[in-house]
Structure 1
Amino acid sequence: MTIQHSPGSDRAETERLRGRIADALDRARRRTIGLTECVDEAELVEQHSRLMSPLVWDLAHIGNQEELWLVRDVGGREPVRQDIDHLYDAFQHARADRPALPLLDPAQARDYVGSVRDKVWDVLEHSPLRGNDLVQDGFAFGMIAQHEQQHDETMLATHQLRSGEAVLSAPPAPGARVAVSGEVVLPAGEFIMGTDSDPWALDNERPAHPVWVDAFAIDAAPITNEQYLAFVDDGGYERAELWSERGWAHRVAAGLTAPQFWEQDSGGHWWRRVFGTMQPLRAHQPVVHVCWFEAEAYANWAGKRLPTEAEWEKAARFDPATGRSRRYPWGDIDPSEALANLGQHHLEPADIGAYPAGASPAGVHQLIGDVWEWTASGFEAYPGFRAFPYREYSEVFFGGDYRVLRGGSFGADQVACRGTFRNWDHPIRRQIFSGFRLARDLRSDER
């Protein structure tokens, strides 16, 4: 039997989608404003780290991408500021060089992004949200909402790197509600990796394809501060045999002795700098601000390894009862504060066991939110990959010196985080909100 949809129901569905898009764009903009209005103009134009852009560059770049895709392309409107396109092209100027550019000042940047957004609201009101791939199901609007939230997380990382008094505040992340420890064993088998059905999924998440994964064990939770401190106390940063050749060379050259922002006082107690405040190390939080080489060394010390990207996604999405891959570990419904630590509601990871309702069917916890999790995998295209809508989002990075991170952090928004979402960065990076969990091959008597 064919189900017929009435024009009225189609219109209602389109309006619901329009409302969802408006909510996503508005949520991102409120966050952008909060991250840029809490500091003065001098701090907006200052480069707080050569790894990061000045906050004012991120602000205007957000507006420029929105203008390019939504005002000019989707809307077919006249340019707002075509003369500044080259200044905010991330591929033309390295982050370290951006302070020397003739950037818009804070007032100009705010006026610019405001003018662009005003036009976007008009474009959204008149768009049918169906047609070519760029507008179907509001893809371009969803892409831009994700882009802004990704830069909001980048700006949040810049706030962590800045010096001076704290300017951000949020309630503490929740403590444990259940005890979580040990490993979860996932049997060998095929599952569907990636997606063809999520309308706002980005090109590197596509297409959906079957992947065979051998049986493996994966930690039920990310590695905690307490667990990582045992590695530090056992001389993990002094034992070259635990590190790869590249990892050890980086550890020595960068002078790594602990995760970034950890400090030890004269009494031997460890503290962590958190957005301008010093806090005692919280034992049961996932460790954060570690690079891939540190995660690899810890895995060697623990006698395990980092999970592959396919293993991580199978642990996060595969439902053995139905044989299908879910959108999130808990199912297909959108995240909430009861399910995951996302959206900058807290300025830190939550304790292990804080989100039992967000666990996967296999019993793996906190796969979404809290910390981005390093995997063993490099960043490569899926079979059948098609670059869309531009090569520079994913394709130009394939095969480079990157490692994939999965799961999202407390600083990631739900629009830019799902079970198929792929993040990537250089293995030396640790200013990002990165942690990890471990996996291992099964012994013959466990298979």
Structure 2
Amino acid sequence: MIDGDDFKAFVAAELERVRTRSFGLTTDVLDDAGLTAQHSRLMSPLVWDLAHVGNYEELWLLRAAAGIDPMRPEIDSLYDAFEHPRAERPALPLLRPREAGDYISLVRRKVLDSLDSIRLTPEQPLLDGGFVYRMVVQHEHQHDETMLATHQLRRGAPVLPDTDSAPPPPPTGPEILPPEVYVEAGEFLMGTSTDPWAYDNERPAHTRDLPAYWIDTTPVSNGEYATFVTDGGYDDPRWWTTEGWEWRNRTGQRSPAFWRREGGEWFRERFGRPEPVPPDEPVQHVCWYEADAYARWAGKRLPTEAEWEKAASWDPASLTKRRFPWGDEPPTPERANLGQGRFRPAPVGSFPAGESPVGARQMLGDVWEWTATDFTGHPGFCVFPYREYSEVFFGTAYKVLRGGSWATDPLACRTTFRNWDYPIRRQIFAGFRCARDA
């Protein structure tokens, strides 16, 4: 674990790295009109996200951690994600792009100046292990992934690169990999009590005992999902829950978001560029209802959240838990498709070096994976440091997603990390894999 001056240098570098990413998705690529427009009612104007990450940083790193008086208290309510729904944000008196950029840059300068006087002491829970700094860095990376979803919904000329800065290793062909891997019955450790990056909903570590099950070796591919579509999967109520069938009828959807069929071939729109749907990539932009229907059609089901985490992290030979599927070493381009290196998923079967203890591939990166589980706290859950990060979302309205996507930064991804969303959401970079009882 990094501590002292080394940790402060690490924080400064990571704050700069994430801000470079944020500007690369906003002011570096779009004019004021593109930044202030609402490209979808599902999303905020990009200029809101930009000012919001700076306001969040001010709240937690200047006011809470350093005890510095508020800079712009009059804008706090504008950038409170719980006070104003996304659909209402364009009507707010938001900071204009240049003003937003100046504000968040001034916040950053003050944060960097304050680092020298900060003591990372266990007596102050926010500063213990540098938690509040890790939280703020992850928060901005999470908003950058949200910005990428906004770019996917944006109409107009492409502005994001279409090159691979991190091409994946050659995939193992599906004819060589087994379609499923077996996870033996028994106890495993779920969640964490020690990871300094972990949010409250990942804590505490606790023992779960699961029966044996099978889980897909790789996420479901575009080609496999296209077979479900052409087999009439969207037209057969047998495969859908009551709520899912109602969603299908109400929306008229008959394929993943951004797909269209032309001349017997599937095409997709990816960040403003039309292209044939690659059959070997994991399917993405499907909602929970679609994933659940496919699993039923395939004679399987979605894995529970506990099944997903056990398959991703538990080593049955040593009876130990791994922070990442391959071990505790940080992600690399050889192990996982993370960090916006490719702007799309890698082919299924990629990253043999990132294989989990039971042999599952691509459990981190590529696509978020829907699970069968509603979002709630682990046994012994305690709010920290605020209810609005996790607890206010607990209940049956949200489904848990696991594993991160190609758009998720490595600092915001681990085998215990939990994401959640409404089962109707399709703009997120989500896919799935299936499971079945042994």
Looking at structure 2, the residues matched to 402 and 210 of structure 1 have their Cα atoms a distance apart, in angstroms, of 24
CA offsets 1:157-181 (integer angstroms, 9 cap, x no match):
0000000111001424536432334
Whether contact under 8 Å (2:168, 2:334) holds in the other structure is: no
SS in 2 for 1:328: coil
Quick one: percent identity of the two aligned structures?
56
Q: In the alignment, which residue of structure 2 is the partner of 1:409?
A: 405
SS in 1 for 2:143: helix
Worse-matched range after superposition: 326-335 or 14-23: 14-23
Match of 1:183 among 155, 176, 180: 180
Q: In the alignment, which residue of structure 1 is the partner of 2:156?
A: 164
Counterpart of 1:49 in structure 2: which amino acid? S
Q: In the alignment, which residue of structure 2 is the partner of 1:432?
A: 428
Looking at structure 1, the residues matched to 131 and 100 of structure 2 have their Cα atoms a distance apart, in angstroms, of 26
Unaligned runs of 5+ in 1: 1-9, 443-447
CA offsets 1:379-433 (integer angstroms, 9 cap, x no match):
0111110000001100111114000000000001011111000000000001000
1:32 matches 2:22: yes
Give how far 1:27 is off.
Answer: 1.6
Q: In the alignment, which residue of structure 2 is the partner of 1:227?
A: 224
Counterpart of 2:248 in structure 1: which amino acid? R
1:306 matches 2:302: yes
Looking at structure 2, the residues matched to 305 and 296 of structure 1 have their Cα atoms a distance apart, in angstroms, of 7
Match of 2:208 among 202, 211, 223: 211
Give the TM-score of the pair, scaled to structure 2. Answer: 0.97
Counterpart of 2:313 in structure 1: which amino acid? R
- Is the alpha carbon distance of 1:336 and 1:174 closer, same or farther for their aligned partners in structure 2, counting shifts above 3 Å? closer
SS in 1 for 2:374: coil
Give how far 1:124 is off.
Answer: 2.0
Looking at structure 2, the residues matched to 162 and 332 of structure 1 have their Cα atoms a distance apart, in angstroms, of 37
Looking at structure 1, the residues matched to 410 and 9 of structure 2 have their Cα atoms a distance apart, in angstroms, of 16
Match of 1:84 among 58, 75, 80: 75
Looking at structure 2, the residues matched to 95 and 311 of structure 1 have their Cα atoms a distance apart, in angstroms, of 33
Match of 2:56 among 61, 65, 68: 65
Looking at structure 1, the residues matched to 58 and 337 of structure 2 have their Cα atoms a distance apart, in angstroms, of 31
CA offsets 1:43-86 (integer angstroms, 9 cap, x no match):
10000000000000000000010000001110111211111000
- Is the alpha carbon distance of 1:321 and 1:16 closer, same or farther for their aligned partners in structure 2, counting shifts above 3 Å? farther
Unaligned runs of 5+ in 2: none
Give how far 1:26 is off.
Answer: 1.6
1:146 matches 2:143: no
Whether contact under 8 Å (2:169, 2:334) holds in the other structure is: no
Counterpart of 1:291 in structure 2: which amino acid? C
Q: In the alignment, which residue of structure 2 is the partner of 1:101?
A: 92
Within a 5 Å distance, the mapping from 1:260-299 to structure 2 comes to 260-265=257-262, 267-299=263-295
Whether contact under 8 Å (2:168, 2:333) holds in the other structure is: no
Within a 5 Å distance, the mapping from 1:248-259 to structure 2 comes to 248-259=245-256
CA offsets 1:257-305 (integer angstroms, 9 cap, x no match):
100000111x111111110101111111000000000001001100000
Counterpart of 2:60 in structure 1: which amino acid? W
Whether contact under 8 Å (2:189, 2:207) holds in the other structure is: yes
CA RMSD of aligned residues (A): 1.2
Aligned structure 1 segments of 4 or more residues deviating by more than 6 angstroms: none
1:396 matches 2:392: yes
Q: In the alignment, which residue of structure 1 is the partner of 2:106?
A: 115
1:21 matches 2:21: no
Give how far 1:18 is off.
Answer: 1.8
- Is the alpha carbon distance of 1:389 and 1:439 closer, same or farther for their aligned partners in structure 2, counting shifts above 3 Å? same
Counterpart of 2:172 in structure 1: which amino acid? V
Whether contact under 8 Å (1:176, 1:352) holds in the other structure is: no
Counterpart of 1:206 in structure 2: which amino acid? R
Give how far 1:306 is off.
Answer: 0.2
